[in-house]
Chains A and B, each alone.
Chain A
Amino acid sequence: MSPLLEVDDLRIHAQTDEGAQVPIVKGVSFALNRGEVVALIGESGSGKTTIALSALGYTKPGLEFGGGEVRLDGRDIVSMGAEEKRALRGQQVAYLAQSAAASFNPALTIGEQVTESTVMRGLMDQEAANQRAMELYRALELPDPELLGRRYPHQVSGGQLQRLMAAMALCGKPDLLVLDEPTTALDVTTQIEVLKAFKSVIQQEGSAALYVTHDLSVVAQIADYIVVLYSGEIQEYGPVDEILNRPTHAYTQRLMAAVRPPPAAGQGDEGTGEHRRDVPAIEVRNLTAGYGGKGGSKAIKVLQDINVTIERGHSVGVIGESGCGKSTLARVISGLLPAMEGEVLLDGEPLAPGLRKRNREELQKIQFVFQMADTALNPKHRIDSILGRPLEFYLSPGRREKAKRVADLLQMVELPTDFSVRYPEELSGGQKQRINLARALSASPEVLLCDEVISALDSIVGANVIELLKRLRKRTGVTFVFISHDLSTVASFADDIVVLYAGRVVEQGPTDHVLSPPYHPYTRLLISSVPELRVGWLEETMETREAKAGIDRVVELTEVGCPFFSRCPLAIPGTCDNLTPPIRDLGSRHKIECHRSLEEFRGEA
C-alpha cells in the first residue's frame, strides 16, 4: 500500500523586499501511512509549521513553493489549482490551529461551527452532521454530548474548546489531520486531558495525523514517527522509540537535554546563603485582592487571605493552573493592583498598596518582568534606550556611565554589545526575553518578579533562559519570584515553592519538602501531570486516582470551604466543602492547608 502523504524533496522559500530568495524549507522528504501519527519537531523558525501547511497546499503570505512534491493519495497538491485545493481542504485534509479560543466565533453555537464546513460542502445534510458531531463529542469524552452542540464557546472550558476544535476538524471524516501545537498554550492538567482525547479519537477514526510541536515529551505520548527539523532541514527521522532512546544526531540530543526532568525532590537550586539577612525581602500578610467591587459591581476575590514569605536571596516559585491568582499576586506586590485587604512588606516596612503612593526607592527595589517580551518592549525604542531608561530614571548616571552600564547589562544577559543599536523586532524571541530581563536588572532591584517568563519560549530557548537566570542569581544575589504553570521549570530553579489554588496558598515550603511526600492533593496532581519523556506515560497517568478526580475540571473560586473540594480524591464531604481548611505546619517552613491530618497524609504516601 502506498503511503497516504508523501513529501518529496519539498522546497519553500521566502521572497525578501530586495527580491532575494531566502530558503525556508530545504529539500524535506518523509512519508505518512494511514493510521499513523508523524510529529514534526523543532524550534520556532525551523520550518515545521510551513511544512505542515504544505499538506493543505498552503503557504503563508510571502512564501512560495520552490520545488518538490507533496502527494496526497498519489496526487501532487503543490501543482493543484485553487478550486482543487479548496475541494481537498476540510474534506481530505483538516487543520487544527493552536488557539481554540481565537478560532471559535463567540456569537455562534458550538454545534453550528463544528458542522458548518461539512454541511456547506454538501458532504452530509445538517441532520447527519449533527449526529456525526455527537459521536465525536462522545469519542472526545466531552460532557453532555447531546446538548453540547447548543451551547456557546464561552460556556465550556479551554481544554474542552481545544477538543471541540478536533471535533470540527474530524467532522468531515478527513484522511489526514494537521495539528499545529494544539496543547502548547495549555496548563499541564489540561494538556493531559486534550492529549488523551486526541490520541483515542485518532485511533478510533483511523485517520492519519501530522503533529507539529516543540515539546518532545508530548511527542512521546502521541506520535509513531518523529521528524526532527532544524532550519528547514531534516536532522533525524525515525520511529519514536528509536529517536527517544537512541538519538544519533547532535541536534536531537540537544532537544533531549532541554527537556526538564519530572519534578522531584533534590532538584532545587541551592541558595548561596551569603545574601541572606534576618528580615524577609517580601512578606505578604493576610492579603485579599481582586477585581471589581467599584460602583456596585460584584467584587471578585482572586486572592483570599494569603500569607507568603519570600526570604532574601531565595528564589521562590509560585505555581498553579491559570486562574489560580499567580499573576494577581505579582501585580499586587508590584503595586499595579492595589490590595483590598492585608499588606505587603518590603524589608519589613509596609508598602503603600498603589503605585502612586510608593516612592522611587521602593519602586526601584521591586522590578517586574513581563511574560511576553514581544509586547513588553516598546517596538519604537532602541535597545539602548529601553535598557537606559530605568538607569536614567532611578540612578541618573552620566552619559558615558550609562553607555557602559548598558553594555554591561547586555553582557550580563549574554548578548553581544552591538545589540544596543537594534530595535526589538530585529531580535529573536529568546533574545527579546533576555532584553526584557536586562531591563528589569538595570534598575539594580532587590526583588525580581518574573511572570511566566519562559512559557512562550521553545524548549531549548527556554532552557537557556533558565540557565541564565541561575547564573544571574548567583552573580547578583537578587531575590527571584518566579511564576509559572510548569512545575518542572519551577522545580529546576526555585529554593522555595508556593502552590496556589483558586486564590489560596494550599502548600508552601522549601522545594525539596514540597516535592516529596506528604503532598497536598493538588501538588500531587500537578506533579503527576508533568509529561515524562517516555512512551506509555500518558496511559499510566490517566489511571492514577489523582488524574481521575482532578483532570478535566476547571478552577472555581469559592467563598466557603476548600476550593479544591470538587477535584480532590481525598475530599471529605461535609467538611471540606463547608469549612476553611486548617494550616498544618510540618516544620522547616513547610505548610499544607488541608483538612486531612499529617498522619493521614503519611498513610497515603
Chain B
Amino acid sequence: MTNEPNQTAEEMSFDELPDAPPRRRIRYSWAGKLGMAVVIFWAIIVVMGPWLAPYHEADFLDEALFVVPGSDNPYPATDFQPPSRVAYLGTDYLGRDILSRILYGARTTIGISLLSTLLAYLVGVTLGIAAAVGGTVLDSALSRVNDAILSMPTIMLGLVVISAIGNTIPILIVLTGLIYASSVFRIARAFGLDIMVSDFVEAARVRGEGLWWIISREVLPNMIMPMATDFGLRFVYIILFISSLSFLGLGVQPPQSDWGSMVRENLAGLPYGAIAPLVPALAIATLTIAINMIVDDVSAHSGGKLAKRMI
C-alpha cells in the first residue's frame, strides 16, 4: 500500500486504506479443471456422437464379424462379447455395440436431463420469486402446495404418473422438470426473500422503481451465482433420476439407448464378468462427479465453502 497523494489536501499523507482486494473471477482447482475437461468431453459426444459411432444404436452385429479365423463354428455367440477390434467396448445382451450405444445414449440422457433441469429452473425460479415478492397470501398458497409435492418421494411420484399417462420423452421431461421444480422453488424463494429486504432493494423502492425492474435488475443478478451451484447439483440429481427410471424400465424405451437402461439391460452379464453394465455406469459416474467438482469451485467462489483451515 503506497501513500499516494490524494485529490484532497487533508488526505495528503495518509490515504484511506482500501478493503481487501476483490475476487471477481472464479479460480478453478486442479479438480475443477479436470471436471471441466470431462464435461467438455461429454458435451462433444452429445453433439458428435452419432457421427463418431461405428454402428447405429439399434444395430445387431452380424455373427460373421465374430467368426474366429480357422475355427469351424460359423455361428459364434454375439452377446456379451469382450472388447475386440469389431466392438471396442464389447457387445451387450443382444449383441449390439456398446460404444455406439454409449455415444448415441449420451445425447438422450444428457439432453433429457438438461431440458428437465432448465424446465425445473424456469418454473421453480419464476414461482419462487413470485412467492418472495407477492405478499403473504400468494406465498403461503405456493409454499403449502410445494410442501405437499416435496413430501412425496420423487421416484414413487414418477412411477405413478408414468404408469398412468405413459412414457414418451416429452412426458418424461415435463414430469421430471415439475418434480424438481419444487426444490428449486424453495431455494429461489429463500434467496428472493433475503434479497428483497436488503438495503439496495429498499433504495430502489424508495426511488419509486417498479416491481419488474426490481426483480430483473436488483434481485436476479444477485441470485445467479449462488443458484449456479444448485443448478449443477440439480442437473446431477436429474441425470440419476432419469437413469433410475430407465433402470426400472419406465424411462427411455428400447431400441433407443440411454445410459440408465443400458445398465439394467446388461445386468445379466455381470455373472459372466462382462463389462457391458459397467461401461454405462462409468459414463454416468464420470459425468456426475465431474459436474460436482466444478460445482465445488463455484460454491467456494461464492463463499459457500468452509474456511480452509480452522487453526
* Residues of chain A at the chain B interface (Cβ within 8 Å): 14, 16-17, 22, 43-46, 58, 61, 82, 85, 230-231, 250-251, 254, 334-336, 355, 358, 360, 363, 367-368, 370-372, 375-381, 389-390, 393, 414, 416, 423, 425-431, 439, 443, 460-461, 464, 467
Q: Are A358 and B222 in contact (CB under 8 A)?
A: no
Contact of B311 among A82, A230, A431, A467 (CB under 8 A): A82
B311 A58 Cβ-Cβ under 8 A: yes
Name 25 interchain pairs, CB-CB below 8 A, sorted by A: A17-B23, A22-B21, A43-B16, A43-B17, A61-B309, A230-B14, A231-B3, A250-B14, A251-B13, A254-B13, A358-B208, A363-B208, A370-B202, A370-B203, A375-B199, A376-B199, A378-B217, A380-B222, A393-B209, A414-B8, A425-B19, A427-B18, A428-B17, A428-B19, A443-B207
CB distance from A355 to the nearest CB of B (A): 6
Say yes or no: B27 contacts A378, CB within 8 Å.
no
**Do the beta carbons of B207 and A393 come within 8 Å of each other?**
yes
Residue of A nearest to B6 (CB): A414
Q: Which residues of chain B come closer than 8 Å to A380, judged between CB atoms?
A: 221-222
Q: Which residues of A contact B27 (CB under 8 A)?
A: 17
Instruction: Name the residue on B nearest A449 (C-beta).
Output: B206
Interface contact B311-A334, CB-CB below 8 Å = no
Give, as a whole number of angstroms, the nearest-CB distance from B223 to chain A.
10
CB distance from A440 to the nearest CB of B (A): 9
What residue in chain A is nearest B306 (Cβ atoms)?
A61
Residues in A with CB closer than 8 Å to B207 are 363, 389-390, 393, 443
Q: Is the CB of A431 within 8 A of B308?
A: no
Which B residues touch A61, using CB under 8 A?
Answer: 307-309
Interface residues of B in 1-33 (CB under 8 A from A): 1, 3, 7-8, 10-11, 13-14, 16-24, 27
The answer to whether A250 touches B17, judged by C-beta atoms less than 8 angstroms apart, is no
How many inter-chain residue pairs (CB < 8 Å) link A and B?
Answer: 99
CA distance A230 to B205 in the complex (A): 40
* B-side interface size class: 35 or more
Min CB distance A402 to B, Å, is 16
Q: Tell whether, in the assembled complex, residue B16 and residue A428 are in contact, meaning their CB atoms are under 8 Å apart.
A: yes
Distance of B31 from chain A, by nearest CB (Å): 17
B67-105 near A? 1/0 per residue, CB < 8 Å: 000000000000000000000000000000000000000
- Residue in A82, A250, A372, A423 whose CB lies within 8 Å of B22: A423
Residues from chain B with a CB closer than 8 A to the CB of A428 are: 16-19
Contact in complex: B311, A85 (CB < 8 Å): yes
In the assembled complex, the Cα of A371 lies from the Cα of B199 at a distance in Å of: 9
B311 near A355 with CB under 8 A, answer no
Q: Are the CB atoms of A378 and B206 closer together than 8 Å?
A: no
Give residues in B with beta carbon < 8 Å to A: 1, 3, 7-8, 10-11, 13-14, 16-24, 27, 198-200, 202-203, 205-209, 217-218, 221-222, 307-309, 311
Q: Are A336 and B11 in contact (CB under 8 A)?
A: no
Which B residues are CB-close (under 8 A) to A425? 19, 22
User: Are B206 and A461 in contact, CB atoms less than 8 angstroms apart?
Assistant: no
Best-surrounded residue of B1, B7, B13, B222 (most CB of chain A within 10 A) = B1
Instruction: Indicate if the CB atoms of B203 and A376 lie closer than 8 Å.
Output: yes
Tell me the complex Cα distance, A334–B308, Å: 44
The residue that A426 contacts in the complex, of B22, B202, B206, with Cβ under 8 A, is B22
Q: How far is the CB of A59 from chain B (nearest CB, A)?
A: 9
How far apart are the CA atoms of A378 and B16 in the complex, in Å? Answer: 22
Specify which of A85, A425, A467 lies most central, judged by the most chain B CB atoms within 10 Å of its CB.
A425
Mostly helix, strand, loop or mixed at chain B's interface? loop
Set of chain B residues within 8 Å of A390, measured between Cβ atoms: 207
Residue of A nearest to B25 (CB): A17
List residues of chain A with CB within 8 A of the CB of B308: 61
A366 to B: closest C-beta gap in Å: 8
CB distance from B311 to the nearest CB of A (A): 5
Among candidates B22, B208, B309, residue contacting A355 with C-beta atoms closer than 8 Å: B208
A370 touches B205 (CB 8 A): no
Give the residue name and chain of the B residue nearest to A373 (CB): B199
> Which residues of the other chain, B, contact A431 by a CB distance below 8 angstroms?
16
A427 with B202: CB separation less than 8 A: no
Task: Identify which of B11, B20, B24, B221 contacts A378 (C-beta below 8 A).
Answer: B221
Measured between alpha carbons, how far is A389 from B20 in the docked complex, in Å?
Answer: 27
Q: Which B-chain residue is minimally distant from A362 (CB atoms)?
A: B208
Among residues of A, the one whose C-beta sits closest to the C-beta of B307 is A61
Q: Inside 8 A of B24's CB, which chain A residues have their CB?
A: 423
Which of A22, A44, A58, A250 lies in contact with B13, CB distance below 8 A?
A250
**Could you tell me the distance in whole angstroms from the C-beta of B228 to the nearest C-beta in chain A?**
14
* Cα of A247 to Cα of B21 in the assembled complex, Å: 32
Q: In the bound complex, do residue A378 and residue B200 qualify as a contact, i.e. CB atoms below 8 Å apart?
A: yes
A375 and B206 form a contact (CB under 8 A): no
Which of B8, B205, B309 is in CB contact (< 8 Å) with A336? B205
With a CB–CB cut-off of 8 A, which chain A residues contact B16?
43, 428, 430-431, 460-461, 464
> In chain A, what residue has the closest Cβ to B18?
A428
* A363 / chain B contacts, CB cutoff of 8 Å: 206-208
User: How far in angstroms is the closest Cβ of chain B from A516?
Assistant: 30
Contacts of B198 in A (CB 8 A): 375
Q: Looking across the interface, which residue of chain B has its beta carbon closest to that of A370?
A: B199
B217: which A residues are within 8 A, CB to CB?
Answer: 378, 381
* Closest 10 A/B residue pairs (Cβ): A45-B17, A380-B221, A376-B199, A363-B208, A375-B199, A61-B307, A378-B200, A370-B199, A428-B18, A425-B22
Roughly how many angstroms separate A335 CA and B11 CA in the complex, as a whole number?
38
A461 to B19, CA, bound (A): 13
Whether A334 lies near B206 (C-beta < 8 A) is yes
Chain A residue with the shortest CB-CB distance to B203: A376
Question: In the docked arrangement, what's the CA distance between A379 and B219, Å?
Answer: 11
Query: Across the interface, do A372 and B199 meet the contact criterion of CB distance under 8 Å?
Result: yes
- Contact partner of A429 (CB less than 8 A), chosen from B11, B19, B21, is B19
CA separation between A355 and B209, bound complex, in Å? Answer: 10
Which A-chain residue is minimally distant from B21 (CB atoms)? A16
In the docked arrangement, what's the CA distance between A336 and B27, Å?
41
- Closest B residue by C-beta to A257: B10
Q: Are B10 and A464 within 8 A (Cβ)?
A: yes
Q: Which residues of B contact A22 (CB under 8 A)?
A: 21
- Chain A residue with the shortest CB-CB distance to B1: A231
Residue of B nearest to A47 (CB): B17
- Chain A residues whose C-beta falls within 8 Å of the C-beta of B309 in the assembled complex: 61
Complex interface: chain B residues within 8 A of A85 (CB): 311
CB distance from A444 to the nearest CB of B (A): 13
Tell me the nearest residue of chain A to B311, going by C-beta.
A82
Q: Which of A44, A254, A443 interacts with B14 by CB under 8 Å?
A: A254
B222 near A46 with CB under 8 A, answer no
The reply to whether A368 and B206 form a contact with Cβ atoms under 8 Å apart is yes
Give the residue name and chain of the B residue nearest to A86 (CB).
Answer: B311
| Least Cβ–Cβ distance between A572 and chain B, in angstroms | 42
- Identify the closest chain B residue to A393 (Cβ): B207
Apart from the given pairs A355-B205, A368-B203, A414-B8, 12 other A-B contacts in the complex at a CB distance below 8 Å: A17-B27, A230-B14, A254-B13, A358-B208, A367-B206, A378-B217, A378-B218, A378-B222, A381-B217, A428-B16, A460-B14, A464-B16
Contacts of A427 in B (CB 8 A): 18-19
Q: Are A45 and B18 in contact (CB under 8 A)?
A: yes
Residue of A nearest to B24 (CB): A423
Shortest Cβ distance from A461 into B: residue: B16
A46 to B309, alpha carbons, bound, how many Å? 24
Q: Which residues on B sit within 8 Å (CB–CB) of A389?
A: 207
